[in-house]
A and B are shown apart, each in its own frame.
Chain A
Amino acid sequence: EIVLMQSPGTLSLSPGERAILSCRASQSVTSSYLAWYQQKPGQAPRLLIYDASSRATGIPDRFSGSGSGTDFTLTISRLEPEDFAVYYCQQSGSSPNTFGQGTKLEIK
């Protein structure tokens, strides 16, 4: 199975700063079937990015995704207070679907 490694484990930033989250796959992700989710405490995950770089419906344009093959990045251009949460990457190109272990974005 494809293992996804996210870094850093925790990212401490202030509102208004830029956040860069990384997701590295143990093998190439088929057809860029790479998605990013945001999860807040007590809530279900929320789809942010699919196909590595396409924003899901209703997602603000401060969220952007990039990458291909084994290296992917989620960038939040200017952090808003509501952006502090845990972020997961997921690949769905090879069975089983797998998630990264998550990056916690916390307020500095």
Chain B
Amino acid sequence: QVQLVQSGAEVKKSGASVKVSCKASGHTFTSYYIHWVRQAPGQGLEWMGIINPSGGSVTYAQKFQGRVTMTRDTSTSTVYMELSSLRSEDTAVYYCASSDGYNFPSQHWGQGTLVIVTS
């Protein structure tokens, strides 16, 4: 079955960048879109953007435009999310999640990656 395994927790200083990976297995890598969703401590879910692993096309939420970059490596079935100019408000658990299509919901989720931003 589809599995998404994310990289481990990160602690970063304000102003730095973080790159989180999401390795997919159990399905054809290029067949599923990958979303990134984050959740600040005690807060709700926030959608950051989506990447089509087939061609690499991306759509980012306007809030993160200019700070987020989503890429993929088809040779390792891995998707990456890099967030730059980190601030304390970026402290959150970051999830990758797969969907069958651009507008489809996310059936499979990674385990989440905690990113802590310190001053």
Contact = CB atoms under 8 A, between A and B. Distances in A.
Contacts of A35: 105-106
Contact of A101 (B44, B97, B104, B112): B44
A2 B55 CA distance: 27
Contacts of A93: 103
Contacts of A92: 99, 102-105
Nearest to A57: B107
Nearest to A48: B105
A95 B111 CA distance: 25
A101 B45 CA distance: 7
Contacts of B95: 44-45
Given A96-B47, A96-B61, A44 B112 contact: yes
Interface string A27-48: 0001101010101000011110
Nearest to A96: B61
B45 A56 contact: no
A45 B47 contact: no
A68 interface: no
Interface size class of A (residues with CB under 8 A): 20 to 34
Contacts of B99: 92
B59 interface: yes
Contact of A56 (B63, B97, B107): B107
A45 B45 contact: yes
B107 A99 contact: no
Given A44-B95, A96-B61, A97-B35, A90 B44 contact: no
A45 B109 contact: yes
A36 B62 CA distance: 23
A14 interface: no
Interface of B: 35, 37, 44-47, 49-50, 59, 61-63, 95, 97, 99, 102-107, 109-112
22 contacts: A30-B103, A31-B103, A44-B95, A44-B112, A45-B106, A47-B106, A47-B107, A50-B104, A88-B44, A90-B45, A92-B99, A92-B104, A93-B103, A95-B59, A96-B47, A96-B49, A96-B59, A96-B63, A97-B61, A98-B47, A99-B45, A101-B44
